[in-house]
Amino acid sequence: MKIYQNKIVLITGAARGIGQAIALEFATAGAIVVMADVQNEPQEAVAAQLRNEGHKAFAFHCDVANDDSVSALGSAVLEKLGCPDIIYNNAVLVRTGGVLNADLNAVRKELDVNVLGYLRIVQQFLPQMVLRGSGWIINTASPNAFVPPPIVAENLMGYCISKAAEVSMSHCMSVSLKPKGINVSVVFPDITYTDSVKELHGSASNNFNTDFASFITNEGRPATEVAARIVKGLDPNKFFFSVYNGFEGMLKTWASQKMDPGFNYLASSAL
């Protein structure tokens, strides 16, 4: 029997990038995949492809930043399939800008998708999970939560803040939900080449957009490879799961350097 045979896995932000690749991996591992994204057509195409290959896959339109939209997703999924066994929070909104030039509304929107969006989705299914006494919540963070390279700290502040908040939120969720039989994990993907770098916008300079896009294009791993490593390595009993080489070493250095923001953590890692 496949490892996730007939497990219902809800994945947000599954229309493209890492989320789409995670959906394919879970489907191959036997799961019933439920995709939730603001982009209807691409995720519907992925779901159709999976169904053609004999997998069970469904696509639902959902804006995780919108209470009514998440509530409608919850009702539709519960009615059609029942409560998910696994929630894989992955959706992300990225706006450029740092403390010197950030647009407050853009940061607010990032937090609404990347932080509150994760919480909204979880709360939608939590009553059923608690009643059942089982479930697994997986939240997608990033090494940029703790040790962003200077170019990222200066130009993607809202993203870094939101990723740090996700780690803290996952910690709080785990403490509250573990006694109720619900596991929580936080995932740190490797640098991954996805379409997000093609549409960088916000208040940072065009030079940043170009430099960052070429950094991700040159250094990023394919989403399929990163997703395969994530789904293979995930374990409901492990809170922390990183596929970013050298990240644990960077965290140790971060603590030993008293979290000094001026230290070059990237250079210190065992990459």
Ligand X SMILES: NC(=O)c1ccc[n+]([C@@H]2O[C@H](COP(=O)([O-])OP(=O)(O)OC[C@H]3O[C@@H](n4cnc5c(N)ncnc54)[C@H](O)[C@@H]3O)[C@@H](O)[C@H]2O)c1
Q: Rounded to an integer, what distance in angstroms lies between the CA atom of residue 91 and that of residue 196?
A: 11
Least distance to ligand X, CB of residue 91, Å:
4
State which of residues 8, 9, 11, 13 lies at the interface with ligand X (CB under 6 A): 13
Least distance to ligand X, CB of residue 229, Å:
13
Q: According to the binding rule CB under 6 A, does residue 186 interact with ligand X?
A: no
Q: According to the binding rule CB under 6 A, does residue 39 interact with ligand X?
A: yes
- Look at residues 34, 30, 66, 37 and name the one whose alpha carbon lies nearest to residue 47: 34
Identify which of residues 93 and 129 has a Cβ nearer to ligand X in the complex. Answer: 93
How would you write 33-58 as a 3-class SS string?
EEEEECCHHHHHHHHHHHHHCCCEEE
State which of residues 63, 169, 209, 242 lies at the interface with ligand X (CB under 6 A): 63
Q: Rounded to an integer, what distance in angstroms lies between the CA atom of residue 120 and that of residue 250?
A: 31
Beta bridge partners of 242: 188
Least distance to ligand X, CB of residue 117, Å:
6
Q: According to the binding rule CB under 6 A, does residue 27 interact with ligand X?
A: no
State which of residues 96, 194, 253, 269 lies at the interface with ligand X (CB under 6 A): 194
- Look at residues 186, 169, 163, 171 and name the one whose alpha carbon lies nearest to residue 111: 163
Cβ contact 170:218 at 8 Å = no
State which of residues 183, 192, 209, 253 lies at the interface with ligand X (CB under 6 A): 192
* Site map (CB under 6 A) of ligand X, residues 116-155, x = contact: -x----------------------x-x-------------
Give the C-alpha distances (Å, rounded to integers) separating 270 from 54, 207, 253.
42, 29, 11
Q: According to the binding rule CB under 6 A, does residue 185 interact with ligand X?
A: no
